[in-house]
C-alpha cells in the first residue's frame, strides 16, 4: 500500500497499492508502529565490509555459525535475538548504551499435573488467569497513579540480576540508574543467563565509528567483527509511514498528528471519515472532544449552553449515568465519521 485518499464526491477511500488502485468504504490502519527500522547515526556505518542488517530485516542468507557477531542495542529486540544466536556463534559482542529494567517472562509449558487440575477444577484456571491479569494491572498502577508501588517492581528486577549474575562488574553494567518505567520494561527469563556465557561480552563503551572490519569505541579499541546486527528499534513516531493517508480538505494524517497524535476514543481521527486507527493514539477522558474542536465544535461551550447545570439535577452532573448521557448527546452531534458514530452508539448503550 502506497497511499489512501478520501474522496468526498464518492464517500469512499481511494487506495493506491503497488498492484493497482482500489476503493473501500471503510479504512482501518492496523500496520503497527514497530515496522520501520531505525538505524543509528554512526560515523563510517556504510564502510563496514561484512554483512550488517537490522533485526526487522533479518538476513537469512547470512551464516552466523562460528562467526564473531556484534549486536548493537540491548532493548526488546536484543533480549530475544541474543539468547537465540548465542549457542551457534563463536563470539558475541553486545554493545549497550543504557540498560533497562526487566521482569520475569514466566513463559513455560504447564505440566500435565497442572493441566489435569485445570480440567477438574475450572476455577483454578480462572484464578491463574486472574493472577496474571492482576500482576500487569498492578504494574500499570505503579507506573501511573501509585508510584509508591514501584519499589516492589524494582526489587523484583534486582532479584533477577543478583540471582543470575555473580560478577559484580557485570551486575553494575546491567543495573539501570533510572526509575522503573522511564524506559520500556522488558519481560525476559533468558537475557541475564545469556550474558554470563563465556562467549558473550557486554560492552558499554560508546561506539564512535565503524571501520571496514569492525567497531571502534571511545576508549580507542577496535573490535574485529564478522557480522553486525542492529537491534536499535524503530521509527515509532511515523505511525503509518511510509504510507500517506489523506482525509478531508487534503489534510494528511502526518499533518494532523504532527504535534500530538490523538483520536476520539483512541480510534477515530479528525477529518478522516469512515476510518479507524489501530495505532494507540493519545486519548484522555478530559480531552475527549479534542477532535471535534478541530472541526469547529466547541464541546465545553456547546454542552454548557445546551446542558447547563441549571437545567439538570445536581446528581446528574456527577453520576456515572449523567456523564454517559452527556457523551451520548455529544456523539449525536458529531458529523463526518459514521464508523465512529456507530461505536459511540455502542458506548451509549
Query: pLDDT tens across 122-179, in order?
Result: 999 999 999 989 988 998 999 888 999 999 999 999 999 999 999 999 999 999 999 9
pLDDT for 341 equals 53
Please provide the average confidence, as pLDDT, over all residues in the chain.
81
- Cα-Cα-Cα-Cα torsion 138, 140, 146, 149, nearest 10 degrees, comes to 50
Cβ atoms within 10 Å of 195's Cβ, excluding its own:
25
* Model confidence pLDDT, tens digit, residues 214-256: 999 999 899 999 999 999 998 877 677 678 889 888 888 877 7
Q: List the grid coordinates of 319.
A: 453520576
**Given a cut of 80, is residue 327 above it in pLDDT?**
no
> From the centroid of its chain, how far is CA 191?
20
- If DSSP codes are grouped into helix, strand and coil, which group holds residue 306? helix
pLDDT at res. 338: 53
- Model confidence at 117, pLDDT cuts 50, 70, 90, reads very high
171-223 per-position pLDDT tens digit: 999 999 999 988 889 999 999 999 999 999 999 999 999 999 999 999 989 99
Query: What percentage of the chain exceeds 70 in pLDDT?
Result: 77
Residues in the chain: 349
> What are the φ/ψ torsions at residue 196 (nearest 5 degrees)?
-90, -5
Structure confidence by residue, pLDDT tens digits, 250-283: 888 877 777 777 777 777 777 777 677 655 444 4
The pLDDT assigned to 273 comes to 78
pTM of the predicted protein model: 0.72
DSSP type of residue 55: G
Residue ranges and CATH numbers for the domains of the chain are 45-230 (3.50.50.60), 248-348 (no CATH)
Instruction: Say which residue, 89 or 279, is predicted with more confidence.
Output: 89
What is d(CA 197, CA 201) in angstroms, rounded to the nearest whole number?
A: 8
What pLDDT is attached to residue 294? 42
Q: Using 50, 70 and 90 to split pLDDT, how confident is the model at 110?
A: very high
- 70 vs 346: which has the higher pLDDT: 70
Amino acid at each position: 500500500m502506497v497511499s489512501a485518499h478520501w474522496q468526498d464526491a464518492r464517500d469512499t477511500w481511494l487506495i493506491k497499492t503497488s498492484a493497482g488502485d482500489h476503493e473501500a468504504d471503510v479504512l482501518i490502519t492496523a500496520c503497527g508502529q514497530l515496522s520501520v527500522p531505525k538505524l543509528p547515526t554512526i560515523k563510517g556505518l556504510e564502510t563496514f565490509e561484512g554483512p550488517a542488517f537490522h533485526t526487522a530485516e533479518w538476513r537469512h542468507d547470512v551464516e552466523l555459525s562460528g562467526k564473531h557477531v556484534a549486536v548493537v542495542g540491548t532493548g526488546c529486540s536484543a533480549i530475544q535475538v541474543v539468547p537465540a544466536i548465542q549457542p551457534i556463534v563463536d563470539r558475541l559482542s553486545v554493545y549497550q548504551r543504557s540498560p533497562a529494567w526487566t521482569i520475569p517472562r514466566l513463559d513455560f509449558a504447564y505440566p500435565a499435573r497442572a493441566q489435569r487440575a485445570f480440567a477438574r477444577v475450572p476455577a483454578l484456571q480462572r484464578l491463574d488467569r486472574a493472577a496474571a491479569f492482576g500482576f500487569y494491572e498492578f504494574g500499570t498502577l505503579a507506573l501511573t497513579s501509585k508510584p509508591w508501588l514501584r519499589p516492589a517492581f524494582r526489587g523484583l528486577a534486582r532479584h533477577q540480576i543478583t540471582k543470575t549474575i555473580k560478577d559484580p562488574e557485570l551486575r553494575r553494567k546491567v543495573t539501570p540508574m533510572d526509575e522503573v518505567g522511564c524506559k520500556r520494561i522488558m519481560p525476559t527469563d533468558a537475557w541475564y543467563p545469556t550474558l554470563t556465557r563465556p562467549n558473550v561480552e557486554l560492552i558499554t563503551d560508546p561506539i564512535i565509528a565503524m571501520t571496514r572490519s569492525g567497531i571502534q569505541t571511545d576508549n580507542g579499541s577496535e573490535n574485529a567483527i564478522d557480522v553486525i546486527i542492529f537491534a536499535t528499534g524503530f521509527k515509532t513516531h511515523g505511525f503509518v509511514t511510509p504510507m500517506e493517508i489523506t482525509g478531508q480538505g487534503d489534510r494528511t494524517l502526518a499533518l494532523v498528528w504532527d504535534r500530538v497524535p490523538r483520536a476520539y476514543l483512541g480510534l477515530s481521527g479528525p477529518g478522516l471519515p469512515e476510518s479507524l486507527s489501530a495505532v494507540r493514539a493519545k486519548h484522555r477522558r478530559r480531552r475527549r472532544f479534542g477532535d471535534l474542536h478541530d472541526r469547529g465544535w466547541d464541546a465545553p461551550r456547546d454542552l454548557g449552553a445546551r446542558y447547563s447545570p441549571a437545567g439538570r439535577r445536581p446528581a446528574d452532573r456527577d453520576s456515572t449515568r449523567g456523564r454517559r448521557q452527556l457523551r451520548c448527546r455529544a456523539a449525536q452531534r458529531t458529523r463526518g465519521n459514521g464508523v465512529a458514530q456507530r461505536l459511540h452508539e455502542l458506548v451509549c448503550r
